[in-house]
């Protein structure tokens, strides 16, 4: 079941269309329902057999919500004799130890957390309020409390550097247990966002290359641009199996702990293969090949890896299908429309 307890977000990230949307509407940029109101709805649904809930708030914990609010929510559920299984979205800088602990007690077993990047310079460009250290701490806390995390990531924007990619590779390898749809991600130039306005002022938008409301732009560093193109080609080749493997975790279904663990193991295995390819591309980008020839080298490399791993991916897809049958799920999603 989908359920909403709040709307909006109090952050000011440059890329975020949520903030742009709330600004158009006017009024406060974050609004909430009371704990009693939320608990009333969950209790009523519980009485009709609902046990799993996806909390679709843009940001679950914003002031005045804090650790005390999280504890009160858990207490309210306990007092009513309900124990829902919950999945929500939270900012890394809001995921303090007492907050995560009380949310776990309230029934949260899975979160989407907008980590976005593991490089300080990239986080500054995005106007992210969380630091790299806060990102690390949040992920460590989630794992300590047995909470699955889909770590939202933006690997590329127009000013990404090779040093930033190295920072991200190292941290992604360390936190390879997080849930991901693949290594390749890019910042969308969505209408109304500060990122899009900045690109417009710089003349960086390709206004005739609009896809689903997101305008195109170039990655400025030519060597980074080669890695960008190769990773995007890899992602397009494998997007369907990525989406299928993580769907039971990113859009949680009514699965028990053992079934969730089965799907999680598959998603981590897929991520490790992604990271191996990322390492090969970074080694090529920092190597001696002249920039004029690097695009051809990285293109040939990724095509060779696609061919070399084709059988592995077919076998992996079969294993994912077998896991779906084992846990009683059927995958019927459409293809990802954003990989253009």
Give tens-digit pLDDT for 246-293. 999 988 789 999 999 999 999 999 999 999 999 999 999 999 999 999
Residues 6+ away with beta carbon under 8 Å from 270: 241, 242, 245, 316
Contact 147, 122 (CB under 8 A): no
Query: Domain range spanning residue 113?
Result: 1-154
Q: Of 141, 121, 140, 146, which is closest to residue 131 (Cα–Cα)? A: 121
Using pLDDT thresholds of 50, 70 and 90, give the confidence band for residue 21.
Answer: confident
Distance of CA 256 to the CA centre of its chain: 23
Domain presence at residue 131: yes
Q: Is residue 126 part of a domain?
A: yes
Q: Is 95 part of any domain?
A: yes
Q: CA 5, 243, 340: angle at the middle one, nearest 5?
A: 100
Instruction: Please report the pLDDT score of residue 305 as a whole number.
Output: 98
pLDDT of 5 reads: 98
Residue 192 vs residues 15, 181, 198, 199: alpha-carbon distances, Å: 9, 26, 11, 12
pTM across the whole model: 0.93
Asked if the structure places residue 14 within a domain, the reply is: yes
Q: What is the CATH number of the domain that holds 14?
A: 3.20.20.70
What does the DSSP 8-state code read for residue 117? -
Asked if residue 101 belongs to a domain, the reply is yes
Does 195 map to a domain?
no
- 213 burial level (CB within 10 Å; 0-12, 13-18, 19+): exposed
Does residue 147 sit within a domain? yes
- Give domain status of residue 243, yes or no: no
How many domains does the chain fold into?
A: 1
Largest CA distance in the chain: 67
Closest-CA residue to 151 (of 128, 126, 182, 127): 182
């Amino acid at each position: 079941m989908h359920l909403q307890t709040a709307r909006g977000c109090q952050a000011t990230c440059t890329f975020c269309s949520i903030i742009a949307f709330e600004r158009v509407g006017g009024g406060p940029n974050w609004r909430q329902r009371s704990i009693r109101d939320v608990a009333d709805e969950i209790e009523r649904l519980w009485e009709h057999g609902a046990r799993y809930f996806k909390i679709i708030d843009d940001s679950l914990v914003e002031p005045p919500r804090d650790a005390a609010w999280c504890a009160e929510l858990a207490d309210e559920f306990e007092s009513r004799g309900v124990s829902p299984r919950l999945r929500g979205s939270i900012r890394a800088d809001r995921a303090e130890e007492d907050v995560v602990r009380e949310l776990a007690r309230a029934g949260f077993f899975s979160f989407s957390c907008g980590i976005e990047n593991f490089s300080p310079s990239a986080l500054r460009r995005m106007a992210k309020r969380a630091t790299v250290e806060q990102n690390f701490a949040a992920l460590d806390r989630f794992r300590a409390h047995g909470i699955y995390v889909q770590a939202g990531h933006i690997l590329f924007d127009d000013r990404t550097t090779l040093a930033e990619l190295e920072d991200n590779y190292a941290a992604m390898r360390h936190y390879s247990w997080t849930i991901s749809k693949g290594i390749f991600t890019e910042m969308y130039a969505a209408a109304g966002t500060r990122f899009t306005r900045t690109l417009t002022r710089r003349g960086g938008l390709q206004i005739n290359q609009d896809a689903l409301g997101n305008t195109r732009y170039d990655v400025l560093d030519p060597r980074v641009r080669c890695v960008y193109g190769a990773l995007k080609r890899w992602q397009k080749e494998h997007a369907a199996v990525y989406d299928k493997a993580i769907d039971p975790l990113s859009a949680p279904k009514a699965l028990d702990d053992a079934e969730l663990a089965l799907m999680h193991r598959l998603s981590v295995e897929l991520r490790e293969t992604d990271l191996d390819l990322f390492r090969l591309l970074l080694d090529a980008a920092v190597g001696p090949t002249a920039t004029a020839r690097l695009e051809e080298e990285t293109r040939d490399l990724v095509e060779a890896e696609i061919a070399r791993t084709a059988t592995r991916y077919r076998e992996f897809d079969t294993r994912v299908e077998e896991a779906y049958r084992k846990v009683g799920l059927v995958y019927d999603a459409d293809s990802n429309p954003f990989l253009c």
